[in-house]
Chain A
Amino acid sequence: MSVEITFVEQFQEILQNGKEQIILLNFYAPWAAPCKQMNQVFDQFAKDTKNAVFLKIEAEKFSDIAESFDVNAVPLFVLIHGAKVLARISGANPQKLKAAIDEYIQPLISQISSTNASVETQVNSVQTTNTTSNTSKAPNGLDSELNERLSTLTNAHNVMLFLKGTPSEPACGFSRKLVGLLREQNVQYGFFNILADDSVRQGLKVFSDWPTFPQLYIKGEFVGGLDIVSEMIENGELQEMLPN
């Protein structure tokens, strides 16, 4: 099961006591939609994975811990063993996180139980593991892993906004205007800052067959950009599409 860090000393104590264990850190922000989705994924992985410690750390609340792990964007997952960082997985990508768990946690456990070699050697050998991946294409031409990821992201909330920046700090005029419109309409939505992840930014243009941002999705379906959503509000179309 995963553990929510509630005070700094708790974190330090777990690290101290868990030197022989693999620990997976999840740095998140409670207001960020990708983090909410990934926290659910993380909790599920925690249930499914034995012999590892899963910790959830609110990055802004525990900024000293976050700083010591160079957290620049959330969600960020850091896999550690003793004093060593085994892997860093950035962004809302369940497949990547699962791959890291499979690569580092399961093999390391089995190696520890099957040999008497030093921990140092085992960690090094694990670190050099080479992952071979099979790349296949989704019908829209996107890499199937990226397509699956985009499908997950666009369904993270009933209403999802992909914008430049965040609702409180939009990075372009169009994103700011659309945030304003949604606020006026009292629309509840999740969001994703495309400036934080260029593969999402480029992938969504194909996924939606729409070249510009912001992009609004309802129940995983692309609805439109600023011009279209504005028009839909005028003609009542948006209100009809919104879940109650």
Chain B
Amino acid sequence: MVNAQQLELLIQNTLEPTHIEIQDMSGGCGQNFEVIIVSPLFEGKSTLARHRLVNHKLQEVIKDIHAFTQKCYSPAQWEALQAK
């Protein structure tokens, strides 16, 4: 069983995020998460490379989750997005 707090802690420890949003889409049973991660680690990386990085860093919990959806932004992209 995975909960949002565990996921947030792992993201904090591995991905140097400046912003995290986690939604448990499964109504609390920890099987379906959507996350937004903003981190300077994503600068200059393709979308695929970002997903690979996240999948690798979070693999110990992702393997226990049925569905995991992610959006990864560099801080500059996130600021531009927020400005819209």
| In the complex, A232 has a CB within 8 A of chain B | yes
- Report A-chain residues with C-beta under 8 Å of the C-beta of B47: 224, 228, 231-232, 235, 237
The answer to whether B52 touches A209 (Cβ under 8 A) is yes
> Interface size class for chain B?
under 10
A222 to B70, CA, bound (A): 19
| Given known contacts A224-B51, A228-B51, A237 and B71 CB-to-CB distance under 8 angstroms | no
6 smallest CB-CB distances across A and B, nearest first, come from A224-B48, A232-B47, A231-B47, A228-B47, A228-B48, A237-B47
| In the complex, A60 has a CB within 8 A of chain B | no
A231 to B51, CA, bound (A): 11
| In the complex, B69 has a CB within 8 A of chain A | yes
The answer to whether A223 touches B48 (Cβ under 8 A) is yes
- Report A-chain residues with C-beta under 8 Å of the C-beta of B70: 227
Question: Per-residue CB proximity of A210-244 to B under 8 Å, as 1/0?
Answer: 00000000000011100110011001010000000
A235 to B71, CA, bound (A): 12
- Report B-chain residues with C-beta under 8 Å of the C-beta of A235: 47
* Minimum CB distance partner of B52 in chain A: A209
A231 to B71, CA, bound (A): 8
> Which DSSP category, helix, strand, loop or mixed, fits chain A's interface?
helix
A95 to B6, CA, bound (A): 49
A216 to B16, CA, bound (A): 30
| In the complex, B13 has a CB within 8 A of chain A | no
- Report B-chain residues with C-beta under 8 Å of the C-beta of A237: 46-47
Question: Per-residue CB proximity of B41-84 to A under 8 Å, as 1/0?
Answer: 00000111001100000000000000001110000000000000
A227 to B47, CA, bound (A): 10
12 A-B residue contacts at CB 8 Å? A209-B52, A222-B48, A224-B47, A224-B48, A227-B69, A228-B47, A228-B48, A231-B47, A231-B71, A232-B47, A235-B47, A237-B47
A217 CB, nearest partner CB in chain B, Å: 11
A204 to B70, CA, bound (A): 23
A172 CB, nearest partner CB in chain B, Å: 14
- Report B-chain residues with C-beta under 8 Å of the C-beta of A231: 47, 71
- Report A-chain residues with C-beta under 8 Å of the C-beta of B51: 224, 227-228
A236 CB, nearest partner CB in chain B, Å: 11
A209 to B55, CA, bound (A): 11
- Report B-chain residues with C-beta under 8 Å of the C-beta of A223: 48
- Report A-chain residues with C-beta under 8 Å of the C-beta of B69: 227
Interface centre among A223, A231, A232 (most CB of B within 10 A): A231
* Minimum CB distance partner of B71 in chain A: A231
